[in-house]
Amino acid sequence: MGTHSQRLPGWIRWALTPLALFVLALLVRALPRRFVLVGANVFPFGNDAWYHLRRIAYSVVHFPEVLRFDPYMNHPAGAMPIWSPLFDWLAAAVALPFYRVGDPTSVEGVVVWLPPVIGAITVVMLYALALRHLDASIAALSAATLALLSGHFWYSQIGFVDHHAAVAMASTGLLWASMSWLAAEERSGPWLGPVVATGFWMVTALLIWPGSLLFVGLVEAAWIVFALTRSEASRARRFAGRFAMIHGLAAVVMAIFAESWTQWSAYSPVVLSRFQPCFLGLTSLGATLCWAAWHFEPLGATRGRRSWVAAGTALALLGAIGLLIPDLLDGVLEAWQWLAKQDAFQASVGESQPLLLVAGQLDASIAMKRLSGFVLLFPFAWWAAWHWARRRPRPAPLLLWLAWSLGLLAVMLLQRRFFNSFSVCIALLMGWSMVTAWRWLPERWRQSGARGALAASAFSLLFLLFLWPMRGSYLHHLRYELGQDAADRVRPWRVAEQAKLEMARWLQRKTPATSGWLDSKARPEYAVLAPWDLGHVIEYLGRRPTVVNNFGDDIGAENFELARRYWELGEAAGSLLLEKVGARYVVARWRDVVVLDPLPGSLLYALVLRDGSEDPVAPGTYPALSRHRLVFESRRWQGADVDAPAFYKVFEHVRGARVQGRAAAGARVVATLKLQTNHGRKFQYRTRTTADASGHYELRLPYSNFGEPAAVRTDENYTIYCRFDIASLVVDEDAVRSGRRLDGPTVCLTPDS
């Protein structure tokens, strides 16, 4: 008697498993949706997502153009984004039908779903890869594992609008196509389809992220070993010819997208440059020379001779490169500095940190949290799989997978970002290990009945134990779905994130609009100086240019160093730097005070801890700021305490009203002003000066008594003190902005003063 599934058409039965895997992966990656889609608002996940949204918005408005030069970063010079444009352009193409003219943010609700969809597609791709080269059981378990792996979920969750999810998909496609190509070569089957697919994924991976050169290098190393280990010269020649062909075509395509950079060398592999087409072209040339040489009997007769020819060709090409294109070798050095984090900025980026180092200590917790407990067994499972693969009739595709996994493990230990693509490798190895271990059991233990149920339960428990270290990635989302963790919204890191968005929205709504947000030819009137990791959100959500952003010194080393120094300086030197880069607003952050422990006389200390006023503990020791005024502060660390420190404070850099008056020679003149912030916190601005020998004093005041920014309210007048004299002074907004001179009250000149 047939089952319901047997009555279904064949194509439906074939599609059921991959469809179920796709839905599972999509549902898992949609778990954080309540924190991303809040009412009519969209809150992407991660700092880099904001800049991807900016480039997507630009392409949607100007389709099919891409944002190649951005005047909103590295102000006033502007800069080219270092990310390749393909991901953002494709995202814009997908979102274009949903664009409402005049509202580039209208596509956000569509764009935030792209990472989960890409992640789910990658899960299905792994299923197809394993089904093609292993079997259905391993394919299903491996893909289900990838659907649940936190490392892959992290980069493909809803709202994580970044190229990382696409990188994992492209690298999986490259591995799949390369394995299929080697399988076709081993059985002398049709080769054109796998070769074309390999070339497609190689180019796609490089266009999505230049760092994919690592993936290309891994498969190239495997291809070279494959070619040199063929016993028949004719097979080696054919493979070398096809190797040369796909590299030549890839070089032509990459040459179309090569860019010229001011902050990178002409042959830098870190960005799309001349390096990629040159590297691919030279590789094609080397393979072509080997193919030609191996046609001659003395040179191509044996594997040993072919290997010597290949080694000689490689050395000759390297020598020629050193003489003719020395910059190409400099580019290789840049790539190593990036990978090894010898660049100071990269060394500070979280995803660039070593996988097994936490706070400078050896720690496997992140590895287990992202890659499951099975990561501890990876070396043993890999060794078993390697010996198993070598005994297979056609081992090349399987050995490629294992060599690829080992290579990704090595680079992942250097930089955590690679656990995204490595997730595919460990999921496949875990699936193979579990199924192989099951098949090693005596048959009586695998049959139905009590023993079979016990064995199946034990294996299921083992699988769950492997996944247990990753539970933290999902449990709070599940509890929130069930209404059991509503307090999650007020966790400190979420409150800090909300404060950041509050600050960026205020900049957009309350500061003067700047030109060029979606016009790369316009030049903005001013910029915002903020900690570099706030740059992307200010540029997109705040719609204001920045001096530095999340690209760090990769787009402007001078600005990056200038911004770092600003916080350490006093006001006079800091103001000169702000004027140099055209910064009108400064965003100061409480966390930086805790981390950097600034000196009391520094701008960071004065802005965050003193609100620009003089030191209340030791008046006169550290003077008040006269050209920085507080215009906004975000929500606080402890919401109920009005005096708790705010996460962020925004200051406007002004000329300051120059108040000049008369007082007794040598007398101390003090000016105070009461203020109230947008969150109701009250404080007093206090500054002082000393009258000169001729009986004149001058104060520079950054606040006005009327016409000031609405977020911070000031008292109706300043109070001027000198000994026992008290006077009042009203300062207008124009005087503060222009630095105009105002007449101050005469104090301390009467005998009773």
Is pLDDT at 95 greater than 90 in this prediction?
yes
C-alpha–C-alpha distance, residues 158 and 165, integer Å: 11
Residues in a beta bridge with 592: none
- Residue, of 323 and 551, whose pLDDT is higher: 551
| Three-point CA angle 189, 195, 199, nearest 5° | 170
In a domain, 284, yes or no: yes
Q: Which pLDDT score, from 0 to 100, does residue 13 have? A: 66
Question: Does residue 275 sit in the same domain as residue 397?
Answer: yes
C-alpha–C-alpha distance, residues 678 and 635, integer Å: 9
Question: Does residue 284 sit in the same domain as residue 155?
Answer: yes
In a domain, 130, yes or no: yes
Question: Does residue 82 sit in the same domain as residue 189?
Answer: no
Question: Does residue 252 sit in the same domain as residue 126?
Answer: yes
Q: Which of 79, 111, 143 is the last residue of a domain?
A: 111
Q: Which pLDDT score, from 0 to 100, does residue 657 have? A: 96
In a domain, 751, yes or no: no
Question: Does residue 98 sit in the same domain as residue 124?
Answer: no
* Highest-scoring range by mean pLDDT, 269-278, 436-445, 486-495, 540-549: 540-549
In a domain, 316, yes or no: yes
Question: Does residue 258 sit in the same domain as residue 290?
Answer: yes
User: 333-343 b/e with 16+ CB inside 10 Å = b?
Assistant: ebbeebbebeb
Residue at 641: amino acid letter: D
Query: What's the pLDDT tens digit per position in 208-254?
Result: 999 899 999 999 999 999 999 988 888 889 999 999 999 999 999 99
Query: What's the pLDDT tens digit per position in 325-358?
Result: 877 777 777 766 666 655 555 555 667 777 777 7
C-alpha–C-alpha distance, residues 166 and 555, integer Å: 23
Q: Which pLDDT score, from 0 to 100, does residue 342 have? A: 52
Q: Which of 111, 139, 167 is the last residue of a domain?
A: 111
Is pLDDT at 674 greater than 90 in this prediction?
yes
Question: Does residue 172 sit in the same domain as residue 32?
Answer: no
679 half-sphere exposure, CB direction, 13 A CA radius: 24
In a domain, 204, yes or no: yes
Residue at 367: amino acid letter: A
Question: How would you classify the pairing of strands 657-662 and 741-743?
Answer: parallel
- Taking residues 66-75, report their average pLDDT: 95
Query: What's the pLDDT tens digit per position in 612-652?
Result: 999 877 766 789 999 999 999 998 765 556 667 889 999 99
In a domain, 583, yes or no: no
In a domain, 30, yes or no: yes
- Residue, of 188 and 581, whose pLDDT is higher: 581
Domain count, the chain: 2
Q: Which pLDDT score, from 0 to 100, does residue 1 have? A: 39
Is pLDDT at 205 greater than 50 in this prediction?
yes
Question: Does residue 414 sit in the same domain as residue 314?
Answer: yes
Question: Does residue 11 sit in the same domain as residue 129?
Answer: no
Which of 503, 442, 490, 748 has its CA nearest to residue 635? 503
Query: What's the pLDDT tens digit per position in 479-524?
Result: 777 766 555 555 666 788 888 999 999 999 999 999 999 999 999 9
Give the domain range for residue 178: 116-340+384-429
Question: Does residue 330 sit in the same domain as residue 423?
Answer: yes
pLDDT bracket for residue 299 (50, 70, 90): confident
Q: Which of 412, 429, 446 is the last residue of a domain?
A: 429
C-alpha–C-alpha distance, residues 76 and 78, integer Å: 6
In a domain, 253, yes or no: yes
Question: Does residue 89 sit in the same domain as residue 42?
Answer: yes
Question: Does residue 276 sit in the same domain as residue 246?
Answer: yes
